Chain A
Amino acid sequence: MGAIIVILALIMLIKLFMIQMVDTRYKISAQNNSQRHVTEYPARGLIYDRQGALMVYNQAAYDLMLIPREMKAFDTLELADVVGISVDEMKGGIQKAKRYSRYKPSVLVKQLNTETYAILQEKLYKYPGFFVQTRTLRKYPSPIAANVLGYVGEVDEKWLENNAYYQQGDYAGISGLEKVYEEMLRGKKGVSIYLVNVHNTIQGSFMNGQYDTAAIAGRNLTTTLDLELQAYGERLMQNKIGSIVAIEPETGEILALVSSPIYDPNLLVGRVRGQNYRSLQADLNKPLYNRALMAQYPPGSTFKLITGLVGLQEGVLNPGITYACSGPNSLPIKCSHFHDTPIGLIHSIEESCNPYFWKVFQSVMDNQAYPKIQDSFTSWRNHVMSFGLNQKFQTDLFSESRGNIPDIDYFNRYYGEKGWRALTVRSLSIGQGEILLTPLQLANQAATIANRGYFRPPHLVKQIDGLDSLEFQKEIHRTTIHPEHFEPIIEGMRLVYAGDHGTARWYRNDSIPMAGKTGTAENPHGDDHSIFIAFAPIDNPRIAISVIVENSGFGSTWAVPIATLMMEKYLKGAISRNWVETRMLEGNLMPKPDPVEVAE
């Protein structure tokens, strides 16, 4: 054992002798030279709309960097002048950089413009330890889809701790597509290693560039969005709070995703980002909140379609069954208006009859095939959830809400196991009570009906350069409802536009067969929210849509015309009835600001 120790020690001593005394390759620092690692930032991937129109591109920006250890005494005033900051700011920045690390580079001044950079470049030799790092900033040719695209910002401490790839001063996607596809978009940083002498001049590359790596550019994304439709949707929603979601039913591709009020994505770029972000965050109408994915509403009458489908599937309903309705005097749920009675399934959709769907729901819950209400309720809930409700789609959407479909545990806890029956939970039949859906789920419901019973999970990216199709693009989700049951429901939806009493009849478009359903989400805090879901054309659907306009009252006044205009715009490329468009564009439904007390 002693011998082994001595022999190993001798081997080490010989090897060290070679490294330290003989081999000159390791002497690079003999003249106090040092290595400089220069990071090469790749261009971030561009983002296109579904037709190939550019939505996001890059512009160059220059950061002044500092390595404190290499800094020598210099003319602070001159440098501060060149980069346009005060001497105090300069000194503060240097102190901060020293505290971060004496050896690692810190950002001293962010995002200098090209002219400043040109002047600085000439004088840089006077300032050892300082150098310029080129970076890219995002730029948006048309100021739309801010919430979908998300924004890019400087990484924070926490991010640095958890992601070894990033360094102080690096940028990363913080929200939206920029965040979800960060790893694709960012590419891969490269590094060049140079030998630098005491005068801050590069002497050559280290070991002939053997350890350098080239930067790899980020991948370009093609989104599923239709730039024109998205822009049109944002215009229609101006001065209104709410959202529009349009989906291509066959593929699940999201054509437009509008959350209003909107903001200009260019506000969250560059030096002004922090300030603008704070003012957007302070805005009471919450422009940063993506309502289309995150807001949850009781779906109201649009849910009657699902109630009907479950009744058909469970065999307790057929299109020929009629029920009597006493209008506003009906019990236990009132009807909102008078109409012919008794009424059948198709016309009850056309006229949105509450008592009819209460009866359907009651027959589902009291179905003799199930021993207890708990069993029939669970079966109902499974049918409902097969429409993608009470769950996230988990494709490439940044922060979706789940929505809510209550389960039996909830009612058992609330009423006791024997304490509830169909009557207790009757408001579920017409989409009220505990049911909550997001605008995205509503649009997906329209797409599912358009597809006669299946949906592809809604997503935002069509294609990533250099990659095959994405996993979620292949997924297909079938509902528990048989395709044939969708026909009478769709016929009812057709009459919503085409029928003499249909709730959307004022906006019927004779050249495009459309199907839809209005709804009203009860709002305890003010006017109700108007909801509309629809798809078109009926036989070969190319667009399914949901529109929610907050505080606008009954569904047909605002949500119906906006959805109809959107579908016409997408299918025809132009609008035939300009008066509707004008009325929508001019409508202002923003909440009136509360009177503010002014301090004297």
Chain B
Amino acid sequence: MRRRVNYIQEMDWLTVLLYLLMVGFGLVNIYSSAYNSELPSLFETSQRYGKQILWIGAALVFAIVIFLIDSRFYSFIAYPFYLLMMVVLVFIIFFGIEVNAAKSWIEIGSFRIQPAEFGKLAVGLALAKYLSSISLNAYTPATFVRIGAIVFIPMLLVLMQNDTGSALVYFSFIMVLYREGLSANFLWIGLASVFLFVMSFMVPIFFLALGIIVAAYLYMLITPKLIKTKWVVGLVVIGAFFLAYYGQSFLDLNFTAYFWLVSLSIGGALVLLGYGWWYRVKRFVQGSLVLIFSLLFVSSVDFVFNEVLEAHQQNRILVLLGKKSDPQGVEWNVIQSKIAIGSGGLAGKGFLNGTQTKFDFVPEQSTDFIFCTVGEEWGYIGTSAVIVLFVIFLLRLIYLAERQRSNFNRIYGWGITSVFFFHFAVNISMTIGLAPVIGIPLPFFSYGGSSLWAFTIMLFIFLRLDSTRKEFLQ
């Protein structure tokens, strides 16, 4: 049974206020970073600030329209909207317009839209719809596949548009799964893959594999039980390795040492897996599975990096991981960004008085690097204010999500909170040199219609859902 509620009264006005503050302060900084003394009017639509005003106006109209629509509508359109977005994303791979090497835009008249921004909304809705339709404690492999598909299909499509930053955002939905009771193993596997991925560039592949093998065998062999068996197994494996490695010159085989190391270790692990499976030794099963998959993983990373990727792609990864210095490229942006922020001091140089943020050294001053302008012109006071504003905003969203009585509303709330958090964390961290440069916008601050609209719609759909939470009886 549903009760009638006055949803204007029930709207969370605190969040709306925070939203308006952020958008307003964002506009101030965009005005300053794109300021053209020849065309100083705020409403000059040939300049970025004039355009941003148009985007903001339209965003507010969207917000009002969202509030006029029945809240059940959003759950109802979750799947159709998701499908539509996937079609659009596929379309873009073939017919999109390229901007800054990312083929992720479509042009309608003189407007350019970046659909990847709306993809996040589609995933948020679809994931909420799906997770709220199944029993939380009964995840089967099939459920995992479906959840994976909902999140990773759009991610892959965005990746194929060469827009790595926007693609990484989809990882943030893992936080939702964690909140919804997903086993922590899932997170561990994810973290371990990232660790191994990074390590395969930091450590020579041979020693990385050796390390994995030693760790896994130590884990399996240092057990209190089965003393004899272990030693036998261990010696056989080690013996086989040496025999094979030194035997190859005798047999005139031309495999590399790495090949022998990996293939023999995997062979040994398979033996241990069979043994552990049969005699129910849990450690053998775990250890050998970890060993096999880790070795296959690092070997394929190595293979793809060396054999599949082209030189410029290899370079980008190495620079991102800090393995290669690139003073004129990515590193340059970070140092310039730090100088801009650093030169602001405590109180900043004041509105329009920034000098560092006016050059063209940072590729996207009014989009991805807008926080530099905040730092330079408003100083430490300005930057802390922005961070505090975001913290209040995010904590408020969590609070709102937790007070929902419907699963759909709660999961959707967590979904968008994760996305906002990811953008906030990555954007500011890269600007101040805490994280590698991944080009994604700062919500509500960065210049750009697509991202502002997408973030606004995501937020206001949630506020609309929240305003009717009392319609659900407990």
Partner-B contacts on A (CB < 8 A): 1-2, 5-6, 8-9, 11-13, 15-17, 19-21, 23, 25-30, 32, 34-35, 37, 69, 98-99, 101-104, 191, 207, 210-211, 213
Contact = CB atoms under 8 A, between A and B. Distances in A.
Which of A15, A16, A104 is most buried by chain B, counting CB atoms within 10 A of its CB? A16
Given A29-B339, A99-B38, A211-B328, 14 more contacts: A5-B395, A9-B387, A11-B434, A16-B432, A20-B383, A25-B342, A26-B341, A27-B342, A28-B339, A29-B356, A32-B355, A102-B36, A104-B359, A207-B335
A507 to B, nearest CB: 56
Contacts of A30: 343, 345
Given A5-B395, A9-B391, A19-B338, A27 B328 contact: no
Given A2-B395, A5-B391, A211-B335, A29 B341 contact: no
Across the A-B interface, give the 4 residue pairs with the lowest CB-CB distance, nearest first: A26-B342, A29-B343, A20-B380, A19-B342
Contacts of A104: 359-360
Interface string B28-44: 00000000111000000
A16 B343 contact: no
A1 B360 CA distance: 37
Contacts of B433: 15
Interface in B325-362: 327-328, 332, 335, 338-339, 341-346, 349, 355-356, 358-360
Interface of B: 36-38, 175, 179, 327-328, 332, 335, 338-339, 341-346, 349, 355-356, 358-360, 375, 379-380, 383-384, 387-388, 390-391, 394-395, 398, 417, 421, 425, 428-429, 432-434
Given A29-B355, A102-B358, A20 B341 contact: yes
Contact of B390 (A9, A26, A102): A9
11 contacts: A9-B387, A15-B434, A16-B380, A19-B375, A20-B345, A20-B380, A26-B342, A26-B343, A98-B37, A102-B36, A104-B359
Given A2-B398, A9-B387, A213 B328 contact: yes
A99 to B, nearest CB: 6
A13 B384 contact: yes
Nearest to A69: B358
A240 B90 CA distance: 58
Contact of A26 (B338, B349, B421, B429): B338
A29 B379 CA distance: 13
Nearest to B429: A12
Contacts of A213: 327-328
A12 B434 contact: yes
Contact of B375 (A8, A13, A20): A20
Nearest to A36: B359
A214 to B, nearest CB: 12
A25 B340 CA distance: 11
A5 B421 contact: yes
Contact of A16 (B332, B335, B375): B375
Nearest to B390: A9
Contacts of B398: 1-2
B375 A34 contact: no
Contacts of B417: 1
A5 B395 CA distance: 8
Given A2-B398, A9-B387, A102-B36, A35 B359 contact: yes
B38 A20 contact: no
A307 B380 CA distance: 85
Contacts of B388: 9
Contacts of B421: 5
Contacts of B339: 26, 28-29
Nearest to A67: B359
Given A23-B342, A35-B359, A16 B391 contact: no
Nearest to B380: A20
Contacts of B344: 20
B374 to A, nearest CB: 10
Given A9-B387, A20-B383, A21-B346, A98 B38 contact: yes
A83 B265 CA distance: 77
A16 B388 CA distance: 13
A535 to B, nearest CB: 44
Contacts of A16: 341, 375, 380, 383-384, 387, 432
Contacts of B390: 9
B177 to A, nearest CB: 13
Contacts of A102: 36-37, 358
Contacts of B428: 12
Contacts of B328: 191, 211, 213
Contacts of A35: 356, 359
Contacts of B343: 26-30
Contact of A34 (B342, B355, B379, B394): B355
A19 B425 contact: no
Given A16-B380, A25-B342, A210 B391 contact: no
B355 to A, nearest CB: 5
Contacts of A8: 425
Contacts of B37: 98, 102
A1 B175 contact: yes
Nearest to A70: B355
Nearest to A167: B360
A496 B304 CA distance: 63
B40 to A, nearest CB: 12
Nearest to A101: B360
A6 B360 CA distance: 33
A102 B359 CA distance: 9
A553 B395 CA distance: 91
A9 B389 CA distance: 10
Contacts of B335: 207, 211
A29 B357 CA distance: 11
A5 B393 CA distance: 11
Contacts of A69: 358
A19 B341 contact: yes
Nearest to A25: B342
Contacts of A99: 38
B346 to A, nearest CB: 6
Contacts of A103: 358-360
B395 A20 contact: no
A19 B387 contact: no
A33 to B, nearest CB: 8
A6 B345 CA distance: 23
Nearest to A17: B380
Contacts of B383: 16, 20
Contacts of B379: 20
A495 to B, nearest CB: 57
Contact of A20 (B327, B332, B346, B391): B346
Which of B36, B342, B359 is most buried by chain A, counting CB atoms within 10 A of its CB? B342
B36 to A, nearest CB: 7
Contacts of B38: 98-99
A491 to B, nearest CB: 53
A25 B338 CA distance: 10
A99 B345 CA distance: 32
A247 B294 CA distance: 60
Contacts of A17: 380
A98 B35 CA distance: 12
A6 B432 contact: no
Contacts of B387: 9, 12-13, 16
Contacts of B355: 29, 32, 34
A110 B95 CA distance: 41
Contacts of B391: 5-6, 9
Contacts of A101: 360
Contacts of B359: 35, 37, 103-104
A429 to B, nearest CB: 48
B432 A15 contact: yes
B417 to A, nearest CB: 8
A453 B384 CA distance: 79
A198 to B, nearest CB: 11
Which of A20, A21, A37, A104 is most buried by chain B, counting CB atoms within 10 A of its CB? A20
A11 B384 CA distance: 11
